Amino acid sequence: MTTLALEPILGHEGTSLSTELVDRAADYARVSKATSTVVTYGYAWRGFVRWCRTRGVAALPADPTTVATYLADEAGRLKVATLELRIVSIAEAHRLAGLDSPTKDPRVVAVLKGVRRTHGKARTKKKPLSVLDLKSVLSTLGDDLQGRRDAAMLLLTYGAALRRSEVVGLDVGDIEFHPDGLIVNVRRSKTDQEGTGHRVGVGYGSSPETCPVVALRKWLAATGLTNGPLFRAIDRHGKIRRGRLRPRAVARIIQNLGDRVGLDPKKLGGHSLRAGFATAAARAGLSEREIARTTRHKSMAVLRGYIHEGEMFAAESTRRIGL
């Protein structure tokens, strides 16, 4: 199944282009964004198409009144974030078709703003996992296959400040062991849709129990993996599977392990590790530039949010003013 509406977008009747060229163009359009993004957009777009079909109105091109009515009809039933994603998918489908997006129309903008004010709520940020909490979590892991995998995944994700999609996207060949630690080749990420790639260095830890390099060597030694996905699912019999872990599995692992040591699993997620690194690095006195070298933040404003979290009590202002 093609994503969004690639056949009607690229395969107009009466075109003088060969079918092979049209199919090739569709393939390029399909991979213009990360796979996870394409799948998400496709699901969102199909939701809008179904709504239009039941009401006998066109989805492509969509009239601004149709989009505004759609928002009003689905508001309260769908989350605001879901509706925002639907709007993005509508805009993307029209862009691929070479059409003006109805989402920019003042009526659509006004309705979406009203939906946000009426039904919106502040997004709950996942709690950064402190180094102390990470050590507590690691202490619960055994030396079996699953324990080695979880330790290696947690420590590598934390040490390289990886997003959950990035860590599950790693292959064995993306890891280079180095005299000073290891190098992670992040081939594609949320902020690198073109696949330019980034190389992130991860040094040795202060102790073998919390060292990403040691943990990763133990995982590879236990599995004998030499190629393919780096982190894989393990069945109930303790057998490693061929397929790679999914991003949601990373969040579930962190939540389950956090629950073991008394942390609220609802406040934890895959982002807790990346945010935890940035917060811990700021608390340790690393500069913005040093932190960004690992986190690869393009927006320093976003990074400074984590730095503020880490430095919140550094000034000890209450005590210093005499309270």
280 within a domain of the structure (yes/no): no
**CATH number where 177 lies:** 1.10.443.10
pLDDT digits (tens, 9 = 90+) for 208-251: 999 999 999 999 999 999 999 999 999 888 889 888 898 889 99
173 and 235 inside one domain: yes
pLDDT band at 193 (very low <50, low <70, confident <90, very high): low
How many residues comprise the chain?
A: 323
75 and 158 inside one domain: no
236 within a domain of the structure (yes/no): yes
107 and 174 inside one domain: no
Full domain range(s) for residue 40:
6-119
pLDDT of residue 20: 60
CA–CA separation, 37 vs 108, rounded Å? 23
pLDDT of residue 315: 57
pLDDT of residue 217: 96
- The total of structural domains in the chain comes to 2
Quote the distance between the C-alpha of residue 152 and its chain's center. 19
109 and 219 inside one domain: no
Average pLDDT of the residues of the chain? 82
170 and 97 inside one domain: no
298 within a domain of the structure (yes/no): no
pLDDT cut 90: percent of the chain above it: 47
pLDDT of residue 182: 93
Query: Two tokens at 45?
Result: 């777009």
319 within a domain of the structure (yes/no): no
191 within a domain of the structure (yes/no): yes
Rg (CA), the chain: 23
pLDDT band at 180 (very low <50, low <70, confident <90, very high): very high
Q: Which of 165-179, 234-248, 287-301 has the lowest mean pLDDT?
A: 287-301
pLDDT of residue 144: 93
144 and 195 inside one domain: yes
182 and 254 inside one domain: yes
Asked which of 265, 286, 309 is the last residue of a domain, the reply is 265
pTM of the model: 0.65
- C-alpha torsion 177→197→159→38, nearest 10: -130
Q: Which of 10-24, 92-106, 121-135 has the lowest mean pLDDT?
A: 10-24
Residue 323 in this model has a pLDDT that exceeds 70: no
83 and 170 inside one domain: no
Asked which of 94, 119, 144 is the last residue of a domain, the reply is 119
pLDDT of residue 310: 56
Residue 179 in this model has a pLDDT that exceeds 50: yes
279 within a domain of the structure (yes/no): no
CA–CA separation, 303 vs 309, rounded Å? 10
pLDDT digits (tens, 9 = 90+) for 128-170: 899 999 999 999 999 999 999 999 999 999 999 999 889 999 9
| Contact partners, residue 304, CB within 8 Å, separation at least 6 | 288
136 and 260 inside one domain: yes
183 and 252 inside one domain: yes
Higher pLDDT pick, 245 / 288: 245
Q: What is the DSSP letter of 127?
A: P
